[in-house]
Structure 1
Amino acid sequence: MLENLVAWLTGNLSPSARIWTALGPAILACVYFLGGLLIFCIRVAFKGVPRDEETLKRGNAGFVGYFLRHYFFWVIQPLWAVILRSGLPANALSMLSGLLGISSGVAVAAGRFALGGWLFLAAGILDVMDGRIARTRKEANPAGAALDSVLDRYVDSAMLMGLAWYYRDTWVLLPALGALLGSSLVPYVRAKGEGLGVNVRDGAMQRLERVLFLGAGTALSPILEAVFWPEEKHPMHWMAVVGLVFVAIMSNLTAISRFRNLVKALAPKRQEARSEKAIVSLNAAAGAIATVADFAVVLALVEWMGLLPAWATVLGALLGAVVNYSINRVLTFRSTAAVGRQMMRYAVVSGTSALLNAGGVALLTLHPQLAYTLGWWLVRGVVYFAWNLPLQRDYVFNDTNSSDALMEQRPHAA
C-alpha cells in the first residue's frame, strides 16, 4: 500500500495505475452527475426548469446552454450548501481555487495530466461558488470581485503555461499559446465593454466551457495513452491535445465575436442604401475572385519560374487589385464618385496591402516547417479583414467622403 502511494506521488505508475488514476475520479463524478441529470430531468418534467438568475445574467453559450447550466448549478447545490454552512469566507474559496489552479499547471508541466486535469476542474467548481457564497451572505464587495477575477486569469494562464511547457518541443505549443491568448482576450473584451457601457457576454467559449473541455480532456487523456501507447516516456496525451486545439480555436472566435459586437455597438450608425450583409457578401465574393487570380499567379511564378514567394506575392497582389477594384466599384458599392481620386485612394490601400502581404509571407517563410502556401493564405485572410475590407467600405468607395460630396456640403460663399 505504501509503495503504491509513493509510486502515485512520484508519477512512477504502471499502465493500469495510470488508467485508474484518471478513471477513478471520473467514475465517481459520472455516477453523481449522470444520476443527478436523471433526477433533474424528472424534476423538470413535473415542475419545470429551476432557473438560476445568475446563469441568465451571464448570457447564452453555444456548447453549454441554459439547460445544462441550470442543471449544473442545481446538481452542485449539496456541495454549495455544505460550504455555505461551514462559514468559510468567499475570499478563502477564491484563494483555494487559485492555489489548485496554479497547482494544475505545475502538474501538467511535469506530465501528470490526470492530477492536473482534476485539480483544474476542482478549481473551476470552487470559482463558481465563491461569488455566490459572498452574494448569499451579502458580503460581496469590489475587492472580492477583483480578487476573484485576477485569480481566474492566473488559474487559466497557469494551466495553459503548464501545457505549453510540456509540449514545448512539439507543434502543440502553438495551440497552447493560442488558447492562452484567447482565454485572456475573452474576459478582457467583456470587461472593456462593461467599462464603456456595452454588455458583451455571449459567446461559445466562456470560462465554464473552457474549464470543462480543457479540464476533462486533460484529466482523462492518460487512459488512451496507457491503452494504446503504454511504453511512451513522453506521451502526446491526444485527448488533451484535442481539447486544447478546440479551446484555442473557439476562445479566439469568441473574443473576435465579442470585439466585433463591441465595436459595432460603439461605432456611429451609417445610413446605407443597401444592407450591410449584402455589401459584405459582395465584397467577399469580389475578394475571393481576385484572390483566386492572385493565388494562380503566385503559384505560376513560384513553381514554374522559381521566383521568391515574397516577390511573387507582390505581383499577384497587383493583379488581384485590378480585379477587385473593378468588381467592387460596379457591383458591390455601385460607386459614382470621380474615378481619378477614387483610384488614387484604392492605389494607397492596394499598395499598403501588397506590402503587408509580402512582409507577412516573408516573415512566415522564416519558418521552413510551414508551407509557404499555407502562410500565404493565413496572411491574406488577416490583411483582408483587418485592412482591405474596412478601408474599401469607409475610405475608397464611400461616396459621402469623396471630395466632390464634401464640396457640395460646404456652404457657398455669398
Structure 2
Amino acid sequence: MLENLVAWLTGNLSPSARIWTALAPAILACVYFLGGLLVFCIRVAFKGVPRDEETLKRGNAGFVGYFLRHYFFWIIQPLWAVILRSGLPANALSMLSGLLGISSGVAVAAGRFALGGWLFLAAGILDVMDGRIARTRKEANPAGAALDSVLDRYVDSAMLMGLAWYYRDTWVLLPALGALLGSSLVPYVRAKGEGLGVNVRDGAMQRLERVLFLGAGTALSPILEAVFWPEEKHPMHWMAVVGLVFVAIMSNLTAISRFRNLVKALAPKRQEARSEKAIVGLNAAAGAIATVADFAVVLALVEWMGLLPAWATVLGALLGAVVNYSINRVLTFRSTAAVGRQMMRYAVVSGTSALLNAGGVALLTLHPQLAYTLGWWLVRGVVYFAWNLPLQRDYVFNDTNSSDALMEQRPHAA
C-alpha cells in the first residue's frame, strides 16, 4: 500500500495505475452528476426549472446553455451549503481556488495530467462558490471582486503555461499559447467594455466553458494514452490536445466577437445603404473579379503577344486595380466623390497593402515548418480585414470624408 502511494506521488505509475488515477475520480463524478441529472429532470417535469438568478444575469452561452447552468448550480447546492455553514470567508475560497489552479499548472508541466485536470476543475468549482458566498452573507465588496478576478487570470495562465511547458518541443505549443492569449483577452474586453459603459458578455467560450473543456480533457486524457500507448514515456495526451485546440480557437473567436461588438457600440453611427455583410461580400467579389482580370491579361500578353512576364504582370496589376476600384466605387460603396482624389487614396491603400502582404509572407517563411501557401492565405486574410476593407470603406470611398464634403460642412466666413 505504501509503495503504491509513493508511486502515485512520484508519478512512477504502471499503465493500469495511470488509468485508475484518471478514471476513479471520473467514475465518482459521473455517478453523482449523471444521477443528479436524472433527479433534476424529474424535478423539472413536475416543478419546472429552478432558476438561478445570477446565471440569468450573466446571459446565455453557446456550449453550456441555461438548462445545464441551472442544473450545475442546483447539483452543487449540497457542497455550497456545507461551505456556507462552515463560516469560511469568501476570500479564503478565492485563495484556495488560486492555489489549486496554480498547482494544476505545476502538475501538467510534470506530465501528471490526471492530477492537474482534477485540480483545475476543483479550482473552477471553488471559483463559482466564492462570489455567491460573499453575496449571500452580504460581504461582497470591490476588494474581493478584484482579488477573485486577478486570481482567475493566474489560474487560467498557470494551467496553460503548464501545458505549454509540457508541449514545448511539439506543435501543440502554438495552440497552448493561442489559448493563453484568448483566455486573457475574453475577460479583458468585457472589463474594458464595462469601464466604457458597454455590456459585452456574449460569446461561446466563457470561463465556465474553458474550465470544463480544458479540465475534463486534461483529467481524462491518461486513459486513452494508457490504453493505446502504454509504453510512451512522453505521451501526447490527445484528449487534452483536442480540448486545448478547441479552447484556443473558440476563446479567440469569442474575444474577437466581443471586441467587434464593443467597437461597434462605441463607434459613431453610420448611415449605410446596405448591411455590413453585403459590403464585405461585394468588396470580396470585386477583389476576385479584379484578380481574374489581372491573370487573364497576363496570360494573353505573354502567350499571344510574346510580352515579357514582368511587363505583363505590371500591366495586369494596373488593369486589376482599375477593375477593383470601379466595382467598389459603383456597386459596393456607391460613391459620388471626385475620382482623382479617390484614385490617389486607392493607390496609397493598394501600395501599403502590397508591402504588408509581402512583409507578412517574408516573416512567416522564417518558419520553414509552415507551408508558404498557408502563410500566404493567412497574411492575405489578416491584411484584408485589418487594412484593405476598413480603409476602402472609411478612407477611399467615404464620401463624407472627402475634401468637397468637408468644404461644404465648413462654415462660410461672413
The answer to which of 171-180 and 394-403 deviates more is 394-403
Deviations 1:326-368 (A, max 9, x none): 3211211122221111010111111111111111000000011
Are residues 350 and 82 of structure 1, via their aligned partners in 2, closer, same or farther at CA, if it must alter by over 3 Å? same
Deviations 1:371-401 (A, max 9, x none): 1110011111111111111111111111121
RMSD (Å) for aligned C-alpha atoms: 3.5
Query: Deviation of residue 279 (structure 1)?
Result: 1.8
- Name the SS for the 2:270 alignment partner: coil
Q: For 1:371 and 1:101, how far apart are their aligned partners in 2?
A: 37
The match for 2:289 is 289
Q: For 2:91 and 2:368, how far apart are their aligned partners in 1?
A: 49
Q: For 1:255 and 1:38, how far apart are their aligned partners in 2?
A: 35
Are residues 183 and 310 of structure 1, via their aligned partners in 2, closer, same or farther at CA, if it must alter by over 3 Å? farther
Q: For 1:363 and 1:385, how far apart are their aligned partners in 2?
A: 19
Query: Deviation of residue 281 (structure 1)?
Result: 2.4
Q: For 1:103 and 1:304, how far apart are their aligned partners in 2?
A: 70
Aligned length: 414
Q: For 2:107 and 2:309, how far apart are their aligned partners in 1?
A: 43
Q: For 1:136 and 1:166, how far apart are their aligned partners in 2?
A: 40
Q: For 1:120 and 1:291, how far apart are their aligned partners in 2?
A: 50
Are residues 319 and 185 of structure 1, via their aligned partners in 2, closer, same or farther at CA, if it must alter by over 3 Å? farther
Query: Deviation of residue 296 (structure 1)?
Result: 10
Any conservation in 2 of the 1:309–1:361 contact (CA below 8 Å)? Answer: no
The answer to which of 30-39 and 329-338 deviates more is 329-338
Query: Deviation of residue 412 (structure 1)?
Result: 4.3
- Name the SS for the 1:367 alignment partner: coil
Deviations 1:143-171 (A, max 9, x none): 10000000000000000000000000000
Deviations 1:116-148 (A, max 9, x none): 000000000000000000000001001100000
| TM-score scaled by length of structure 1 | 0.93
Q: For 1:281 and 1:260, how far apart are their aligned partners in 2?
A: 18
The match for 1:164 is 164
| TM-score scaled by length of structure 2 | 0.93
Any conservation in 2 of the 1:313–1:354 contact (CA below 8 Å)? Answer: no
Query: Deviation of residue 57 (structure 1)?
Result: 1.1
Deviations 1:223-268 (A, max 9, x none): 1100101110000000000000000000000000000000000001
State the identity %. 99
Query: Deviation of residue 314 (structure 1)?
Result: 11
Query: Deviation of residue 405 (structure 1)?
Result: 2.0
Q: For 2:80 and 2:305, how far apart are their aligned partners in 1?
A: 69
The match for 2:104 is 104
Q: For 2:53 and 2:69, how far apart are their aligned partners in 1?
A: 11
Any conservation in 2 of the 1:121–1:212 contact (CA below 8 Å)? Answer: yes
What does 1:137-156 correspond to in 2, within 5 Å?
A: 137-156=137-156
Are residues 230 and 341 of structure 1, via their aligned partners in 2, closer, same or farther at CA, if it must alter by over 3 Å? same
Query: Deviation of residue 47 (structure 1)?
Result: 1.1
Are residues 273 and 361 of structure 1, via their aligned partners in 2, closer, same or farther at CA, if it must alter by over 3 Å? same
Deviations 1:11-62 (A, max 9, x none): 1111111011001100100010011111111111111111111111111110
Query: Deviation of residue 3 (structure 1)?
Result: 0.7
Any conservation in 2 of the 1:314–1:355 contact (CA below 8 Å)? Answer: no
Q: For 2:311 and 2:53, how far apart are their aligned partners in 1?
A: 58
Are residues 314 and 244 of structure 1, via their aligned partners in 2, closer, same or farther at CA, if it must alter by over 3 Å? farther
The answer to which of 313-322 and 257-266 deviates more is 313-322
The gaps in structure 1 that reach 5 residues or longer are none
Are residues 104 and 289 of structure 1, via their aligned partners in 2, closer, same or farther at CA, if it must alter by over 3 Å? farther
Query: Deviation of residue 408 (structure 1)?
Result: 2.7
Query: Deviation of residue 310 (structure 1)?
Result: 15
